[in-house]
Amino acid sequence: MKTTLEEPLQTRSRRKLKWEAAKGHGVVPTHFGKAKHLDAKAPSAKAFPGGKDLVIETFKNAGDAPATTTVSDGGGKKLRNATINLIFWGDAWTANPAPSPSLSEVVNDAASILAGPYQTRISQYGATPARLGGIFVSVPGNNPPTNYQTSDVQNLITNAIGGGALPEPDEETNDVVHVVFMPPGTNAPPNVGGLHTYANWSEVSLIPFDIDILDRSHMAWVAFGSRAFISSVFSHELVEALSDPEGDGIQVNPTNGSNWNEIGDACQSTGLVNGVTVQSYWSQSDRACVIPVNLKLEMQITFIHKDPRNDAFHPIQAVGGMNLTQNIPFRMSQKECIASIDRGNKFFVIGADGSRAEVKVFIHFPPWNRQGIRYIATVADNSKADNLLSLPEG
């Protein structure tokens, strides 16, 4: 599979391709209601009630649905074990200097939402929490219109699928949602901050023989804005795309067949989970708008494993040290460490000179493709004694 988001593929003589946009969509408005910052009032990491590591915060602010709210299940599709592809459209995302927020900040916020506790309450609706898929940037020169429409985003995705950069819907090994982040300098349709929908794919191919009829590709877009705005819109579209991807799944009453009335639409309060702004969503089991919050761990890395040690082309394979919150040692792969950071846990290094450096997740785009690779490194400071490569082998 190619890993660039290419310009439209010219239709080949052996194929007959057809795309058809959905008749409905789930929309998030440009502005949310009253914000409530969870980390400002949430219990400390060592003081969750009853030793819990998960707390469900409920909201009853202006714009949040009352306890009498109900939902309907139209019997349609819900997404299970889905992967979320993050697609950054336009040259502005890779410009130097980087935009604010940067591509890396948006990726890390989305990854935190996906890996953390936020999706906990969607299982009651027949969906399951999604995970991070690929991270893509469009090829240079492929920029959206200044005043874009949902059809432009659908064309980007369908052209990428037709060109081979993304798999056809019937070739996906699991449910997939392609989420497109629009760049600075572009304007969304009036009063719309984001939207999720799908497109139908039909194909007749003789060599090799293949007939696809109305296979569905799920997609969403998020308008450019502040870092908090982007992450809150992403969280809104995420839970709705999982529970009502095609407009016939879970909707809040009264339902709507074209402008889908979904679990994110019933709530307006936002909050911080592990430093990332998210929007509350309706939980029928709690009879409230909710944001789940988790226990955060302090993790000191005291050794790494990397072989060969000084070869820049070989990544760190593992890290280890002490979980200071629970007072137990740990050892994990770099992939596991990235997932733990995404969940909100704090990793750091203490250098031989006593300096402390936070360990964060960064993203690198190799020159040979447009799909990003995430890795861990210490945040740059004035000391070289507290970076990961200064630690002993373990």
Q: What is the CATH number of the domain that holds 159?
A: 3.40.390
For residues 333 and 230, membership in a common domain is answered with no
pTM for this prediction? 0.83
Please give the tally of structural domains in the chain: 2
- pLDDT bin (cut points 50, 70, 90) of residue 28 is confident
- Answer whether residue 269 is part of any domain: no
Enclosing domain of residue 239: 15-29+74-263
Q: Is residue 68 part of a domain?
A: no
Percent of the chain with pLDDT over 70: 83
pLDDT band for position 10 (cuts 50, 70, 90):
very low
Structural domain contains residue 1: no
Q: What is the pLDDT of residue 171?
A: 78
| Residue 162, pLDDT score | 77
Same domain, 181 and 315: no
Report, as an integer, the average pLDDT of 83-87.
97
Sheet holding 54-59, edge to edge: 54-59, 288-294, 281-283
**Residue 50 falls within a domain, yes or no?**
no
Q: What is the pLDDT averaged over residues 33-51?
A: 47
Greater model confidence, 313 or 372: 372
